[in-house]
Structure 1
C-alpha cells in the first residue's frame, strides 16, 4: 500500500534527523518539526478514517476472527497513544530546543514506528485481500478524500511527492491517472521540483550546508 510506505519511511527517518539536530538550532528544528507535523497528522487521520469508514464495513460484510478484530483494535489504541505522546514531545522540543527533549521525541517516534509497522503488516496481510471484494471504489475514494482534506493545501504537493517517492512505475501511473488533469500538470510543473527541494532541506545531514 503506497500510503503505508510514507509512514514506514518517514517516521524512523525523522527520529534519526531529530536525534542529530544540534541543540539550539531553531531554524533546523523548525524545518524538521514542520515536516513531522505533516506526517503525524496524516497518520492520525489515516487511522481515524479507517476506524470510521472501513472497519465497520469490513466487520459487517466479512467474517473476521475475534482475535483479528481484538488485535487490530488494540493496535489502533496503541498507535493513538503513541501519536499523542509524540505530538506532546514535539511541542516540548520546539519550545526547549535541547538535547534531552530531542532524544525523548526520537525515542517516542521509534515506539510509534514499532506500533504502526506491526499494524500495517497485519493490514496488508489480512485486510487488503478483502478490500477488493468488500469495499467499493467509491468507498475507497471517500477514504482517500478524507485523508486529502486533512492535509493543508500548502502541503498537498509535498505529501503527493511523499506518496509517489517509493511507488512503482505502475502505481505512479495509476495514482496520477485518478487526479484531475490540472492537478497532474501542477504536479509535473511545480510539484516535482518543490518536493525535491523539500526533501533536500529536511533530510540533509546535520551540519551540512543547505542547497538553494
Structure 2
C-alpha cells in the first residue's frame, strides 16, 4: 500500500500565516488615520504577536529544523545560506519593531508611513527567504515526513512550547487560513491537540489579536 504524504508541510503552513500577517500590516498601515490611538494600540498588539511568532520560527529552525534537514540531505551550504537570510530578516524585523513601537506611542500618520516602509522592507526580505526555503525543502518535508529525523524534529518543536504558547500559535496559524491550509494543518497535527490547545489556550489570541483584523476596528 502506498504511503500517504501530507500535501503541505507544517513549515509551509506557518509560512502562509507569516505572509498573511505581512499583507495585513501593510494594508492597515496604508489606511491608518492620523491620531487614531485605539487603532495604533491594536496594531501594536497584533505586531507583538507577529514579532514573537516570526522570531520563534526562525530561531527554532536554526536550532531544530536544520539538523533534521541536514540528516535528510539538505546541503550544509544551503543551510548556511538560510541562516544568512535569517540574519537579514532579523535585522529588518528589529527595524520594523522600533517603527511599530513609535507608532504605538505617537499614533501619527508620519510614523505610520515610516512603519509601512519598514514593513515593506521586512516583507521583501522575509518572502524572499520563505520562497527560497520552500523551493529547497518542501518536497523533502512532505515526502519524508515519516523519517526518524523528521519525527525527532517534530518532537523537539513540541517540547519548545508551553500549552499557552502552543495555543496562541495554533489560533494564529488558523486565523484566515484557507481550506487547503486547514487541511494541511489537520494532516500534520493530531485533532485533539488542535481542539484542546488551539481552542482552550488560543482564547487570548482570539480575544486580543484576531479582532484587530476582523473586528469593528479592523482593517
Q: CA deviation at 1:118?
A: 1.1
What is the alpha-carbon distance in structure 2 between the residues aligned to residue 63 and residue 3 of structure 1? 20
Which residue of the partner structure matches residue 3 of structure 2? Answer: none
TM-score w.r.t. the length of structure 1 is 0.77
SS across alignment from 1:23: coil
Which residue of the partner structure matches residue 3 of structure 1? Answer: 14
State which drifts further: 42-51 or 151-160.
151-160
Which residue of the partner structure matches residue 23 of structure 1? Answer: 34
1:97 and 2:107 are equivalent in the alignment = yes
Which residue of the partner structure matches residue 75 of structure 1? Answer: 85
Q: Structure 2 residue aligned with 1:135, among 145, 149, 152?
A: 149
What is the alpha-carbon distance in structure 1 between the residues aligned to residue 121 and residue 177 of structure 2? 24
Which residue of the partner structure matches residue 5 of structure 2? Answer: none
Conserved? CA contact 2:26–2:116, under 8 Å: yes
SS across alignment from 2:215: helix
State which drifts further: 88-97 or 121-130.
121-130
128 and 200 in structure 1: CA distance in 2 versus 1, 3 angstrom threshold: same
- Cα RMSD (Å) of the superposition? 3.3
Q: Which has the higher helix share?
A: 1
Q: CA deviation at 1:153?
A: 7.6
Q: CA deviation at 1:151?
A: 6.5
Instruction: Please list the CA deviations of residues 68-99 of structure 1 after superposition, one character each: whole Å capped at 9, or x if unmatched.
Output: 23432221111110111111111111112111
